[in-house]
C-alpha cells in the first residue's frame, strides 16, 4: 500500500528522468562530441554540479542518488575522451632538453688547491720501488723479559 502511494506521488517527469539515468548508467553511451569541450571546462563542471544539487534537493531520494552517479559518469566519460583528443605530451620537454638545462645550471668544474697539492706531493703508486729503512728497534716478543709468566 505504501508503494502505491509512492508511485502516485512521483511525477511523470521524474519517472522519465529515472529511466534516462538508468539507461545512461547501464549502457555505455558515449558523450556527444560537441558537448565534451563544454562539460570538460570549469563552467561545464559548475553547471553539472548545480544541476546535480538541484535534483538532489528537489526530487525523490532514489533519483537524487542516481543523479550523483550520472554526474560522476558524465564527467569521467567526458574527461577520458578530451584527454585523448588534446594530449599534453607534445608540450613536455624531452629528456635530452632537460639534461641540457641541468648541465647549464651546474658550475664549471675547477681544480682546487687541495687537488693540486695532492697531485704534486703524494703520487701514490707512481714510485719505482719501495725502500725500507733498517732500524735498531725491536718488538716486544724479540726482547727478553725477566720475571714474566707465559700464558
Burial of 149 (0-12, 13-18, 19+ CB in 10 A): exposed
Percent of the chain with pLDDT over 90: 21
* Per-residue pLDDT band at 107 (split at 50, 70, 90): confident
The percent of the chain in helix, strand and coil, each rounded to the nearest 5, is: 65, 0, 35
Give the global pTM: 0.51
| Cell numbers given for 102 | 641541468
Q: What is the mean pLDDT of the chain?
A: 80
| Cell numbers given for 98 | 632537460
DSSP structure class, residue 108: P
pLDDT tens-digit profile of 16-30? Answer: 988 999 999 899 888
Amino acid at each position: 500500500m505504501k508503494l502505491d502511494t509512492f508511485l502516485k506521488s512521483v511525477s511523470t517527469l521524474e519517472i522519465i528522468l529515472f529511466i534516462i539515468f538508468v539507461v545512461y548508467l547501464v549502457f555505455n553511451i558515449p558523450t556527444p562530441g560537441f558537448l565534451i569541450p563544454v562539460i570538460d571546462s570549469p563552467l561545464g563542471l559548475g553547471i553539472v554540479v548545480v544541476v546535480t544539487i538541484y535534483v538532489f534537493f528537489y526530487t525523490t531520494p532514489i533519483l537524487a542518488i542516481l543523479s550523483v552517479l550520472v554526474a560522476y559518469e558524465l564527467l569521467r566519460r567526458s574527461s577520458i575522451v578530451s584527454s585523448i583528443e588534446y594530449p599534453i605530451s607534445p608540450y613536455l620537454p624531452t629528456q635530452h632538453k632537460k639534461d641540457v638545462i641541468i648541465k647549464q645550471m651546474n658550475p664549471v668544474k675547477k681544480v682546487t688547491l687541495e687537488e693540486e697539492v695532492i697531485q704534486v706531493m703524494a703520487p701514490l703508486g707512481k714510485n719505482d720501488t719501495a725502500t725500507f729503512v733498517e732500524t735498531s728497534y725491536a718488538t716486544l716478543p724479540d726482547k727478553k723479559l725477566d720475571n714474566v709468566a707465559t700464558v
